[in-house]
Structure 1
Amino acid sequence: MFLILLALLRKFAFGPVMGIMKQREEHIASEIDSAEQQNQQAQKLVEEQRELLKQSREEVQVLMENARKSAEEKKEEIVAAAREESERLKALAKQEIQQEKDQAVTALREQVASLSVLIASKVIEKELSEQDQEKLINEYIQEVGDVR
């Protein structure tokens, strides 16, 4: 009886249980393989991300260096332009000062000449007789007429 029970159990119970166990083992093995593949893919993605991050950092470093150089060049250009403008304004101011000085000297000469003529006429009025003054005035009028 025990042998018959054992044979029946082997045919009807152990066979399907062993089949289920075999399927379960295959399923677990395929899940482990799948997990390992996913782990490898994840590692690969991590490496790719690290490489991209490294490249990004290098690009940022290059961009920052370029921006710094560009800013330095721009600064130098602005300083040079400011110096040129300063020199131009300085030269212009010197020129204007010289013109003002020349105008002042000319005006002073005209005033000195006018005052000299006035002083001379006062001196001449006192020293010349009426006839001499009249003669001098007539000569002056003639000279002015001839010049025109």
Structure 2
Amino acid sequence: MLRLDFNLVLTMINLVVLYLILRKFLFRPLMNIMEQRRTMIADGLQHAEDTKKEAYALKSQYESALGGAKEESTRIIGQAKKDAKAEYDRILDEADQAAGKLMKDARETIDLEKEKTLRDMQSEVAALAVSAAKKMVKQQYGADADQAAYDQFLKEAGDAHDDK
């Protein structure tokens, strides 16, 4: 059976006092430390979650910016192609105009040279004809006849040249 004596009461009192002392100096600080640690872990997890959400938001922004940059680069390349085509067409038109002008100038020069050559040939032919006529007339007539034949030839040569 159980006996209640004074030692048992003292042991019980000692246990209660020990419990109160441990509770005040060990359990409460330990619980406070554990609460702080739990709070710190919860804050760390919350901070990690917030950082993760922010990273996903930034990723979305960067992806949309990258998509926009791709569209912008495509637009810029298209515009550059249009500008290059327009410049190509302009240079080609200028070259065509310059070639046409050169051809026109060359034709005009050829025509002028042709006319000059024809005049020179007519003058030479006229001089040769006059010389031949002069020799023939000298043999048959005299100086007066030479002058009349020369005038007649110049008149006919001039009329032939004016008709052309």
Q: What band does the TM-score fall into relative to the shorter chain? A: 0.7 to 0.9
Whole-Å Cα distance in 2 between the matches of residues 42 and 138 of structure 1?
116
Q: How many residues align?
A: 136
Under a length normalisation based on structure 2, what TM-score does the superposition of the two structures give? 0.76
State the Cα distance separating 1:47 from its structure 2 match: 1.0
Under a length normalisation based on structure 1, what TM-score does the superposition of the two structures give? 0.84
1:116 has 2:132 as partner: no
Q: Over residues 79-137 of structure 1, what are the superposed CA-to-partner deviations in whole Å (9 max), with x where a residue is unaligned? A: 11111111111111111111111110111001111111111001111112xxx42x447
1:105 has 2:118 as partner: yes
Q: Over residues 32-53 of structure 1, what are the superposed CA-to-partner deviations in whole Å (9 max), with x where a residue is unaligned? A: 1112111111111111111111
Residue of 24, 29, 41 corresponding to 1:16: 29
Shift of the 76–138 alpha-carbon distance from structure 1 to 2, 3 Å rule, reads closer
Which has the higher relative contact order, 1 or 2, with Cα contacts under 8 A spaced 6 or more apart?
2
1:38 has 2:85 as partner: no
Match of 1:146 in 2: none
Residue of 89, 101, 126 corresponding to 1:88: 101
Counterpart residue type for residue 68 of structure 2: Q
Whole-Å Cα distance in 1 between the matches of residues 108 and 122 of structure 2?
21
Match of 2:71 in 1: 58
Shift of the 43–12 alpha-carbon distance from structure 1 to 2, 3 Å rule, reads same
Residue of 16, 30, 47 corresponding to 2:60: 47
State the Cα distance separating 1:2 from its structure 2 match: 3.5
Residue of 84, 88, 107 corresponding to 1:71: 84
Instruction: Point out where structure 1 has 5 or more consecutive residues left out of the alignment.
Output: 141-148
Larger Rg: 2
Match of 2:39 in 1: 26
Whole-Å Cα distance in 2 between the matches of residues 100 and 137 of structure 1?
33
Instruction: Point out where structure 2 has 5 or more consecutive residues left out of the alignment.
Output: 1-13, 150-164
